[in-house]
Amino acid sequence: MGKFVISTRSDGEFQFVLKAGNGEVILTSQGYSSKANCTNGIESVRKNSQDDKSYERNTSSNGKWYFNLKATNGQVIGTSQMYESASGLDNGIDSVRSNAPDAVVEELTAA
């Protein structure tokens, strides 16, 4: 089973990652000014992860593949790791789809 891990970045902002059952990070959020906003971001991932239109597939300048998961308002709520191939990217999207809805939340923050 996957899990969302909330942590505090060096700049004091909150961030979450979605990890697959094997512990691999499959999605990383932006920074949030409050833990409440970060938690709302997690709920947005749960909701939007099931809609294929929410995934923006991209290639980076070095030719690797990655995707952004977007909310209905178009805001990026999570970015994937880099993949060597389009099929790896598709597997990453499938992993977010299968892990996000029921993922537990673990907090590594003091606040």
Distance (Å, whole) CA 70 – CA 8: 22
pLDDT at 109 over 70: no
Give the bridge partners for 76, in sequence order. Answer: 70
Place of tokens 């998961």: 69
Q: What is the pLDDT of residues 54-90, one digit of tens each?
A: 999 999 999 999 999 999 999 999 999 999 999 999 9
Is the pTM higher than 0.95? no
Q: How confident is the model at residue 19 (pLDDT cuts 50, 70, 90)?
A: very high
Q: Are strands 104-107 and 3-8 parallel, antiparallel or unpaired?
A: parallel
Domains of the chain with CATH codes: 3-107 (2.30.29.80)
Name the amino acid, one letter, at 40: N
